[in-house]
Chains A and B, each alone.
Chain A
Amino acid sequence: MVFFSYLFSGISLGSVYAIIALGYTMVYGIAKMLNFAHGDVIMVGGYICYCSMSYLGLPALLSVLLSMLVCTVLGVVIEGLAYKPLRQASSLAVLITAIGVSYFLQNAAQLIWGVTPKIFMSVASFPMPESVSSLGLSSEAVVTVASCIVIMIALTLFVSKTKMGKAMRACSEDKGAAQLMGINVNQTISMTFAIGSALAAIAGVLLCSNYNTLIPTTGSMPGIKAFTAAVFGGIGSIPGAFLGGLLLGIIEAMAKAYISTQLANAIVFAVLIVVLLVKPTGLLGKAVPEKV
Chain B
Amino acid sequence: MKITLITSILLAGILTNNMVLSKFLGICPFLGVSTKVKTALSMSIAVTLVMVISSAVTWPINYYILKQEYNYLQTIVFILVIAAIVQLIEIFLKKYIPPIYKALGIYLPLITTNCAVLGITLLNVQNEYGFVPSLVNALAAGLGFMLAMVLFAGVRERLETADIPVFLKGLPITLIAAALVSLSFLGFAGIGG
Asked if A and B are interacting partners, one says no
